[in-house]
A and B are shown apart, each in its own frame.
Chain A
């Protein structure tokens, strides 16, 4: 990435990321196909997040890249070189695990210095570099602590420093935040992104948490049944999902009946443009985001607008969500500013309109 030069042990100017390619990877565990012809290209210095439900193969893909798992077929190419047969310890990849992985018999400093010792660095140099990396993750004052003397978040920071200290070609993050509580998770997530930009290292991040994925990624790859269903920038994944699975997996989605004709669909009386991949005509199900739904008191509504009854409201800070039931019984969710929600009451008749942002539609 084009990070500005900042103080730190290694910056983008010193180290440029490498290109990583997963080519047609296949891996089965018994009858289960964890990877089914998976392809992925990661640009130098890019952070790609693999996102998907459990069992979709995202962790297997990362472990194959790390060399901790062998693919049945396909190739792992890093920096133009096929490393499929190279053992884990020769792959030069830093990894942070979901489970706490610090060596319990070593201090934080010794943990970070572990990889440096294996690379034959002298004691003084090891110590200096370990402390630099601990400083990078804000834990230089905890250098003498053992794992059991640190919180989960601190342990994962040390693990991150340990992974980065060996100046790896690729950084692999296997759900590193899922064992942490919500607040620490957000903090560390932002810190991982800051460090990744600062160091400029090619990174593969695996998670099942969509918010985490959208927050840190250059590109998000949504996985399903051993393949990447769609890989794009977070805003594209969210606003222009390529398939119904991606639309349903990322964010909340209303499945509303509509009628397609040409490149638009009529949903609850509103004409909305359709994304590529939608059927050209006939009855469809439109996948509409809650923030694209508008609710207004029925009296103010246009005559052709859909009608619904408010079922429940909930506040989420600056905005809130309203659940309303359409006349045909379909439940929909709308995301509205708090000021608009205050005007609505449970049981009230409302008119529903859909904002004309492009939506994906599927044939019924």
Chain B
């Protein structure tokens, strides 16, 4: 879900850089005509992309509000607003799934930040030759199908289940790996924008410890990138179903699937809400990023 929504903006923007490449050998009228044509093409692309995303959502809204008899009803949406109207068993399942997913989102972000920010900074400072290797490792979860990942995780989760607990919160470890490709890209862009080496050496010479360099210098200067990585991680965690289901854990998506067998309209409405929430997160991310750039 996260990667699908993430691609919509660049697709639209990709049109504009083409414009300056063409030589200006024609008069102002021809140029204006060309600009209009390009604007039109741009809008066609925007409309197509929006249609691609919006059509399924409109269909979801349609499904959630139409009864078998063909009559319209807002009952599914009333349940979204007030879980009290749900079947008690479904309600428990859902509240539990929602709570787990929110905890997982927070834990995943923490794991991602604690794991990636110091590692990537250290690699830049001390082991620049390892950059490609780290990048490759971080991109692996994109290439390896979830089902294969789960096969690898299974013995680990069996061990955790035997020695600690079977709680779904342990999924955060797997999610920490799943978000690596997105988080790596976001953080890499942030770190590339600053001269980490010189700044950390300056801070060290002024008396700062390595922890101080990370906390006082690196983190504030890549705050936008960290926020971006965090938003992407949250969006991914809230939409994750496969790994949770295959490892027999519960999260929001698995509970929605369970609820959907008894109350498909409500489950669909709820999925739509989560989807829109992810959209909102990514929108905020783009907005924050743009504002930062504009200020500089």
Q: Which of A86-136 contact B (CB under 8 A)?
A: 87-95, 97, 99-101, 103-105, 114-115, 118-119
A223 within 8 A of B: no
B residues in contact with A105, CB < 8 Å: 220-221
A97 and B206 contact, CB distance less than 8 A: no
Complex partner residue of A119 from B202, B203, B207, B217, CB under 8 angstroms: B207
B220 and A89 contact, CB distance less than 8 A: no
Q: Which of B201-235 contact A (CB under 8 A)?
A: 201-209, 212, 216-217, 220-221
A97 and B217 contact, CB distance less than 8 A: no
Closest B residue to A90 by beta carbon equals: B207
B204 and A166 contact, CB distance less than 8 A: no
Report the minimal beta-carbon distance from A339 to chain B, rounded to whole angstroms: 49
B26 within 8 A of A: no
A residues in contact with B194, CB < 8 Å: 104
| Most-contacted residue by chain A among B194, B202, B209 (CB, 10 A) | B202
A95 and B207 contact, CB distance less than 8 A: no
A34 within 8 A of B: no
B residues in contact with A104, CB < 8 Å: 194, 221
Q: Which of A59-110 contact B (CB under 8 A)?
A: 66-68, 87-95, 97, 99-101, 103-105
B296 within 8 A of A: yes
Q: Which of B41-100 contact A (CB under 8 A)?
A: none
A114 and B206 contact, CB distance less than 8 A: yes
Closest A residue to B213 by beta carbon equals: A89
Q: Which of A145-185 contact B (CB under 8 A)?
A: 148, 159, 162-163, 166, 172
A118 and B201 contact, CB distance less than 8 A: no
With an 8 Å Cβ cutoff, the count of chain B residues facing the other chain is: 19
Report the minimal beta-carbon distance from B250 to chain A, rounded to whole angstroms: 41
A99 and B198 contact, CB distance less than 8 A: yes
With A99-B195, A101-B198 known as contacts, the answer to whether A88 contacts B204 (CB < 8 A) is yes
B207 and A118 contact, CB distance less than 8 A: yes
B201 and A101 contact, CB distance less than 8 A: yes
B199 within 8 A of A: yes
Report the minimal beta-carbon distance from A112 to chain B, rounded to whole angstroms: 10
B203 and A94 contact, CB distance less than 8 A: no
A148 and B296 contact, CB distance less than 8 A: yes
Closest B residue to A99 by beta carbon equals: B198
Closest B residue to A66 by beta carbon equals: B205
A95 and B212 contact, CB distance less than 8 A: no
Taken together as a complex, chains A and B put the C-alpha atoms of A99 and B199 apart, in Å, by 9
B198 and A166 contact, CB distance less than 8 A: no
B212 and A118 contact, CB distance less than 8 A: yes
Across chains A and B, which 9 residue pairs bring their CB atoms closest together, nearest first? A115-B206, A101-B202, A95-B205, A88-B204, A118-B207, A99-B198, A101-B198, A105-B220, A89-B207
- Knowing that A89-B205, A94-B206 are A-B contacts, what are 9 other residue pairs whose CB atoms are under 8 Å apart, sorted by A's residue number? A68-B201, A89-B204, A89-B207, A92-B207, A97-B202, A101-B195, A103-B202, A166-B207, A172-B205
